[in-house]
């Protein structure tokens, strides 16, 4: 009975590894959260008319667009 339990625990630990670059800093908010909180919208394309880009979203892959 111990061997299957130990194998299960080993598999759980193996698949629960945090990928490099993922941050687990307490209190850190992703950039898209900050964009939405300040009244912006995250878009992967360029900002539409009557809005301006004020930052980035999705780890720099998108634009935070706010009304002018």
pTM above 0.75, yes or no: no
Largest CA distance in the chain: 66
Tens-digit pLDDT profile for residues 12-42 = 666 666 555 555 566 678 888 999 999 999 9
For the cut 90, the answer to whether the pLDDT of residue 4 exceeds it is no
Q: In the predicted model, is pLDDT for residue 53 greater than 90?
A: yes
Q: Are 55 and 40 in contact (CB under 8 A)?
A: yes
**Sign of the alpha-carbon torsion through 59, 61, 67, 68:** positive
- Whole-number pLDDT of residue 35: 92
Q: Which domains, from first to last, does the chain contain?
A: 28-68 (3.10.360.10)
């Amino acid at each position: 009975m111990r061997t299957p339990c130990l194998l299960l625990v080993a598999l759980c630990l193996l698949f629960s590894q945090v990928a490099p670059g993922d941050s687990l800093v307490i209190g850190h908010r992703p950039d898209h959260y900050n964009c939405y909180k300040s009244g912006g919208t995250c878009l992967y394309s360029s900002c539409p008319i009557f809005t301006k880009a004020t930052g980035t979203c999705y780890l720099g892959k998108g634009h935070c667009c706010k009304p002018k």
